[in-house]
Amino acid sequence: MKLVAGLGNPGEKYAMNRHNVGFMAVDRIAEDHGFAPWRAKFQGRVSEGMLGREKVILLKPETFMNKSGQSIGEALRFYKLDPADLIVFHDEIDLAPGKLRVKQGGGHAGHNGLRSIHGHLGEGYGRVRMGVGHPGHKDAVPGYVLRDVPKADRDWLDDMLRGISDGAPHLVEGDAGRFQNAVALRLNPPRSSTTKPKSDAPKVEKPTEPESDDRSTLQKLVDRFR
């Protein structure tokens, strides 16, 4: 069993914030893979279902971002899971919009949601870093992540969420490479070509068969001097 948590802030006014892309990710997984309806539990909302052969609990903490560890820690203890069984989706300002990375363990890099999880569970959990870009100055970060994703960026965000949903079974089975490939295929689909590639080899003409000549010897001689 895996616990997959998306980080964000509860309430409609935060729904499309950059800080809420973690919520968006688990919502898309639940919708596309036929998970049970969301219900209140563990100071958040949970939904249960299957990804491939793995039973998965999806969780959206409603403790607000900087107390995410309270909700996630409670759920992890209830299901008797280890931090290694946890995967967290979160926004990442150190990655460009549309970039995604999978990471196991490590620091929280100042992210308030991860900082809270570290305080409750330590660092030995997995996380999916969803790039939202950087405002350019650290003092501008709080206001930047609490603003909505611009409409101009909704296309790449939707492609990323679709890719996350496509690859989610690989992610929970521990195949980060195939998961990231699924996301990449949505963000950068292969181009189809309608023209055949040119060959560098010279074209060889097929020899023609000589025509048969049924004329008599006399007729050939007459025709020669015409």
**CA distances for 99 relative to 12, 108, 123, angstroms:** 26, 18, 23
SS3 at position 211: coil
> Do 91 and 133 contact (CB within 8 A), yes or no?
no
CB-CB contact of 166 with 185 (8 Å): yes
The sign of the CA dihedral 90, 92, 96, 101 is: negative
Q: In which order are the strands placed within the sheet that holds 86-92?
A: 39-41, 44-51, 54-61, 2-6, 86-92, 126-131, 100-104
- Which active-site residues does the annotation give? 19
Would you give the distance in Å from CA 19 to the centre of its chain? 17
Residues 6+ apart with CB under 8 A from 52: 169, 170, 172, 173
CA 135 – CA 203 distance, rounded (Å): 57
Query: Do 73 and 113 touch, CB atoms closer than 8 A?
Result: no
